[in-house]
């Protein structure tokens, strides 16, 4: 059997053997039939999202959780009460200094010293309240524990106001109830599960 002249460009060219797969990109197969033969690149799977930390939505690592409502209320109360304590403490310092300068006797000096000491104490806890409120956004268990101590002191102060009702009259009762309510609310915000989770959350 003759295949023609191999030097003739118009002659019949030899056919490739059947049954051998070609190389390169595979031909498109009919619908419903998987492609056969050839070497194709494997399909790349879509990446899956990473799970977030507890409290954050899955798929977005590092998403911050929202501050609980009770913690927000406690933060506002810390700013308000701390501001009032700073104002009252400053007025107490001025009043104590004026009392000591006008009354040169021993009683005047002692009274002025007591008022000044009270003013310094109010200034200190007022600054503490404002700092704690500012640190609520960042969190941290140390901030939570310090706030618990602050709220406990506020509750103890309310009992002191109740004990001096005979001297202070109705104002002592009102101050005691107000201090007890504010201190109790701040304390509750720190010890409940949502508040504890907020301060113990991972920080990035």
Secondary structure of residue 165 in the 3-state scheme: helix
pTM above 0.85, yes or no: no
pLDDT of residue 159: 84
pLDDT of residue 60: 42
pLDDT of residue 204: 61
Nearest Cα to 68, choosing from 202, 188, 203? Answer: 188
- Measured CA to CA in angstroms, residue 97 lies from 88, 92, 104, 172 at distances of 14, 8, 12, 25
Low-confidence ranges of the chain (pLDDT < 70): 1-64, 103-105, 108, 165-172, 204
pLDDT of residue 169: 62
Distance CA 32, CA 30 (A): 6
């Amino acid at each position: 059997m003759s295949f023609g002249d191999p030097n003739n460009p118009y002659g019949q060219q030899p056919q490739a053997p059947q049954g051998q797969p070609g190389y390169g990109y595979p031909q498109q197969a009919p619908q419903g039939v998987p492609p056969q033969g050839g070497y194709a690149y494997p399909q790349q799977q879509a990446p899956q999202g990473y799970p977030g930390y507890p409290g954050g939505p899955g798929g977005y690592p590092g998403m911050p959780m929202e501050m609980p409502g009770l913690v927000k209320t406690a933060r506002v109360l810390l700013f308000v009460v701390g501001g009032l304590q700073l104002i009252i403490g400053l007025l107490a310092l001025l009043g104590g200094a004026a009392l000591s300068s006008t009354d040169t006797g021993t009683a005047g000096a002692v009274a002025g010293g007591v008022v000044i000491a009270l003013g310094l104490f109010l200034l200190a806890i007022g600054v503490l309240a404002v700092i704690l409120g500012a640190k609520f956004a960042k969190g941290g268990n140390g901030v939570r524990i310090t706030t618990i101590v602050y709220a406990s002191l506020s509750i103890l102060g309310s009992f002191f106001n109740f004990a001096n009702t005979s001297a202070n009259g109705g104002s002592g009762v009102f101050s005691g109830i107000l201090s007890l309510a504010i201190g109790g609310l701040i304390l509750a915000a720190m010890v409940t599960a949502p508040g504890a989770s907020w301060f113990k959350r991972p920080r990035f």
